[in-house]
Structure 1
Amino acid sequence: MTYDLNPRPLNPAPPAPVIDWPNGKKSALFIGFDVDAETAWIGNNHANVDRMVTTSLGGYDARVGIAKILELLEELGLKATFFIPGWTAEAHTASCEPIVATGHEIAHHGYLHKCPDRNKLEEAKEEIDRGLEALQSRLGITPIGYRAPSGENFPELLAYLTECGLRYSSSFRDDIRPYRHRLADGRPGPVEIPVNYAFDDWNFGITSRLDGRPLFGRDAILPIWREEFAGTHEWGGVTTLVLHPQVSGRPMRWRILRDFLAEIAARDDVWIATGAEILAHYEAGTEAA
């Protein structure tokens, strides 16, 4: 492949509009969970399928993490969006069904959590197709939201998301407000609900036997989350969380997340919404005829 390194904005989307959030709220909070399960460990390294201790990190989702996260959300009276790979929906259907039953949004997160690669376009499309099929056949869901596995995307994949009826993405890290993607041919693409990397729990709370990454506790995590939220709130943006049941479903991290969400939920100036709700508000407020 020839790479075009000519100077230009690499994301051609227009600037994000300033949004008035519902009911006079000053900012929004988007609670998103990536239910990767074992795909986090086998999607980009197939050899791990034969390493049962390594994959047991992801197996925690179905055995403990999903149920504890649902318990937390029920305790606080909050709704979230769960980005589920198709493989997870097939391998752990019984653990995923309560997510649907309790009224949370289900969104697309690939099939085997393979990182999208522009040099493997057909494989990337297959990940979308198989993910859609699995969510429909196992959970009865046709999702409208998408989060890129391993957080990557490229122009042809953005266009394919649109063709497949995926109306919003939550993967890019280049804004604090939602905006509408512009496809390479000039057509409108999905609405982006941007991610803030500071709110990805994987950065603070996961390691493995073969990984020297440090773990961070309450005194490191809560100050980062509180300060980043305070700034995003002051600027009128959306605080997007990238959480994983195999991380934030662990006992200490569950307690940290509970305390952070309880602080936000106690405020009267933050709109806590699912991705589908943010999409609907964006389209009604910025694109109404």
Structure 2
Amino acid sequence: MTVDRNAVQPWQWPEEEWRRLVQRVRAGRRLRPGKWKNGAQVAVALSFDSDHETNELRDGGRSINRLAWGQYGHRIGIPRILALLEKHAVPASFYVPAVTALLYPDEQRRIVEAGHEIGIHGWIHELNSVLALDDERDLMMRSLDTLEKVTGKRPTGMRSPSADFSENTLQLLCDLGISYDSSMAADDDCYELELFGKPTGVVELPFDWVRDDAVYFLMHRFQGLRPYTAPSEVFDIFKRELDGAYQEGGLFELTMHPHVITNRSRIWIVEELITYAKSLPGGVWFARHDEVAAYALQHGVESE
């Protein structure tokens, strides 16, 4: 029985209702390999959400200033990121709203030609949880088709915009043949997603806000969003996350945004992390998210 949640308070829900909500999408078996590719001690998966102007557009915003900030991600952010990745011979994953791809198709082709991955990130950075099933399916399919048309490669992974998952999202991923997701944070390491207690074969490569540059650096002059953490402190947080992953033999996933991390006072964070990771004894495997997900699914062993 499904309860009308608008008619009763959560404490009035029958047990089957809150159990149904909890079990809808659940973390299944953990997929941490005994060793990563080539015997590496830790896997490092860098990612960039190329939101660009869609952060303003998705809410119906018309601020020329904020649209310009989004354009910074294209004009300055992506070139700086690609140059840095090329300098250190490190691959990365880019999650791209379809509208961004349509605005800047050459940017996406350049990313793919450099050996990086492009994954789904919504149509216009919409929130999945407010969409009806048919609308969510339509936008996901249009996003897949658009990215494939622009880049020549069909995406195999998704990061939901703003890490926003609906009750239908996982079933749609299964229906559309998406092999992995990177939107949720039920673990530090990869795990298999379950739908109503049944394994789906879809790998979750965990995202977490503590490893996201936006929570430390975003600013909105009409809202209460103000940067409060110094770049040196953000580097320390990310480095400690990397150290923990290294000690456990796990995964270090980092989420960044071209219009946020690439200011002159911040881009050094990425370079210092790459340099530090390469100095770790025992080896590090820098990989795209699709590569990590595939390796974890094939070689992962559930922890005792």
TM-score (norm 1): 0.91
Match of 1:230 among 221, 243, 260: 243
Change (3 A) 1:126 1:254: same
Q: Give CA deviations for 1:14-47 in whole Å, capped at 9, x if unaligned.
A: 231442222322221111110111112221x11x
> 1:19-30 to 2 correspondence within 5 Å?
19-20=33-34, 21-30=36-45
Determine whether 1:245 maps to 2:234. no
| Aligned residue among 180, 201, 207 for 2:213 | 201
Q: Which moved more, 1:188-197 or 1:213-222?
A: 213-222
Which residue of 2 is the match for residue 106 of structure 1?
Answer: 118
1:72-151 matches, within 5 Å, as 72-117=84-129, 120-151=132-163
The 1:140/1:72 distance shift into structure 2, 3 A limit, reads same
Identical counterparts, % of pairs:
27
CA shift in 2, pair 1:206/1:5, >3 Å: same
Shift of 1:118: 5.7
Q: Distance in 2 between matches of 1:8 and 1:35?
A: 31
The answer for unaligned runs of 5 or more in structure 2 is 6-16
Give the match for residue 272 of structure 1: 286
Give distance in 2, aligned partners of 1:233 and 1:190: 25
Give, in angstroms, the shift of residue 217 of structure 1: 2.3
After superposition, where does 1:113-192 map in structure 2 within 5 Å?
A: 113-117=125-129, 120-184=132-196, 186-192=198-204
Could you say which structure has the greater relative contact order, defined with CA pairs below 8 angstroms and 6 or more residues apart? 2
SS in 1 for 2:128: coil
Distance in 1 of aligned mates of 2:273 and 2:197: 42
Do the aligned partners of residues 179 and 137 (structure 1) sit closer, same or farther apart at CA in structure 2, a change above 3 Å counting? same
Do the aligned partners of residues 13 and 220 (structure 1) sit closer, same or farther apart at CA in structure 2, a change above 3 Å counting? closer
Query: Partners in 1 of 2:132 and 2:197 — Cα distance?
Result: 20
Q: Secondary structure at the match of 1:5?
A: helix
DSSP-derived class of the 1:227 partner: helix
For residues 245 and 31 of structure 1, the distance between their equivalents in structure 2, rounded to whole angstroms, comes to: 12
Q: Helix, strand or coil: the match of 1:138? A: helix
Between 232-241 and 211-220, report the one with greater CA deviation.
211-220
Alignment partners' CA distance in 1, 2:274 and 2:218: 20
Query: Does the 8 A contact of 1:29 with 1:238 survive in 2?
Result: yes
What residue is the counterpart of 2:13 in the other structure? none
Contact 2:170 2:195 (C-alpha < 8 Å) held by counterparts: yes
* AA partner of residue 32 (structure 1): S
The corresponding residue for 1:58 is 70
Q: CA deviation at 1:166?
A: 1.0
User: For residues 110 and 19 of structure 2, what CA distance do their matches in structure 1 show?
Assistant: 49
d(CA) in 1 for partners of 2:199, 2:245 = 30
Could you tell me which amino acid in structure 2 is paired with residue 241 of structure 1? L
Pairwise CA RMSD of aligned residues? 2.0
**1:155–1:183 contact (8 Å) kept in structure 2:** no
How far apart, CA to CA, are the structure 2 residues paired with 1:237 and 1:214?
A: 33
Post-superposition shift, 1:256? Answer: 1.9
Deviation of 1:237 after TM superposition, in Å, equals 1.9
Q: Which stretch of structure 1 is more off in the superposition, 151-160 or 5-14?
A: 5-14
Q: Which is greater in Rg?
A: 2
CA distance in 2, matches of 1:8, 1:148: 19
Deviates more, 1:185-194 or 1:146-155: 185-194
Q: How does 1:273-288 map to 2 (within 5 A)?
A: 273-286=287-300
Q: Kindly provide the amino acid, as one letter, of the partner of residue 172 in structure 1.
A: M
Could you tell me whether the CA contact under 8 Å between 1:35 and 1:83 is conserved in 2?
yes
Unaligned runs of 5+ in 1: none
